[in-house]
Amino acid sequence: MNIEGKHIIIDAFECDPARLNHIVHLEQLLAKAAQEAGMTVLYSYFHPFQPQGITGMLVLSTSHLSVHTWPEERYASFDFYTCGEHDPTDQVECLLKGIGAKRAVIYAVPRGRATPQLICGKEVNSFDPRPALHTQHGSAIARGDKWDQIGLKELLRHPHTSLFQEKSAFQHIHLIEATDVRMYLDEQLQFSSLDERIYHEALVHPIFTFAPNRERVLILGGGDGLALREVLKYDDVKHVDLVDLDPFVLHAAKHVKRLADLNQYSLHDRRVTIHPQNAVDFLASRPAPYPIIIIDFPDPTDPTTSDLYTTEFYTLLRDSLAEEGVFVCQSSSPEDTPIVFWSIGKTIESAGFQILSYHTIVPSFGDWGFHIGANASISWKHQRPPISCPTLPADLKTLLEFPPNILEKKKMAFVNSKQHSILHHVFHQEYA
């Protein structure tokens, strides 16, 4: 057995004190660094101090990653050790940018040798205080559709208005207005104002035909407020919890006028409570069960998002769904990524739910699919949209019809689990 390992020690200075005191941000940052280094997280524990400061550690299958922060001094220390083949050095920049460090001293120490010695100790200056994009081996990860990246570059070559642009701890957000309003996350198109209504009406309104009541609704993802806009069209909705990981997306949806106009100021509605936090953490807090849950996560293009489409996630979701409740999950394109689409459905079933699968055409994205889940068997007879929905067919049952070439791929579906989380790999294989 090879006992040699790699140990990186970082002293980070002139950091963003708000990020040093944000426990959710730090846990997400360390988890992202470990996962993108190819390491498995076994256990995570983070502890806040009063009045400020945080200490946290990830126990990895190959050792550990820890952080200790002193916000009042704008200082943090990292300790990243692995006895495996993975190299933690590649994630140093990600960690430093994630806390807005402007200066750092980095040490690399070989482990498992009879005479350890310092092999690198240098000061690094001029870090961009904004967090890094998702990176792997020094280059940007292609998170999804390459055509979105091509389209964005072409759009930026012509007259346009940049309404909002920011790098959060999780992604690069760019809201652009040309002939339409578009949001890109890490160069992936999230919506176009020309046809986003088609997607959001299909996401929201079919599930309302199955709901036993509509008083309480939970939306996971959907920080742009567009699905929320559709939910709030129902007068009998009394309360909505909107949970989105990225506070910058929520800020844009609430305060950037063109986007707020588009979502009809849904984030300002008195019935809405906004939760800028991880969906898993929110569900783990065991809120009172909801009769309706809407899942509007990004596509499973990397290990982090792939974990949001696992048996474990849907099992956790069960505790927050009312006994007669229903939920809907956006499930990627059954035309471009049919194995991913059917595998999401099979994974939902593996958590004990009954499902209905349907799809619609969104011109900006092509054929797009969804799964409805419920504790009991459900069937789509002749449901009609409960309210006026110009983009939906009068008989919603027609959304259930899939062409033979897409149905054929159903036999290749698999269950995605935390122990066997490969949905993102399949996604990229199908898009290749």
Which positions are catalytic? 296
Question: What length is written for the chain?
Answer: 432
Q: Tell me the C-alpha distance between 271 and 282, whole Å.
A: 18
Residue 1 DSSP one-character state: -
229 pairs with which residues across the strands? Answer: none
Q: 164 Cβ partners below 8 Å, 6+ apart?
A: 173, 174, 175, 252, 256, 259
Q: CB atoms < 10 A from the CB of 240, how many? A: 22
346 pairs with which residues across the strands? Answer: none
Which one, of 338, 367, 370, 366, lies nearest residue 356 by Cα? 370
Q: Tell me the C-alpha distance between 12 and 32, whole Å.
A: 18
Burial class (CB in 10 A: 0-12, 13-18, 19+), 415: middle
Q: 425 Cβ partners below 8 Å, 6+ apart?
A: none
Residue type, 59: V
Judged by DSSP in three states, 190 sits in strand
8 pairs with which residues across the strands? Answer: 80, 108
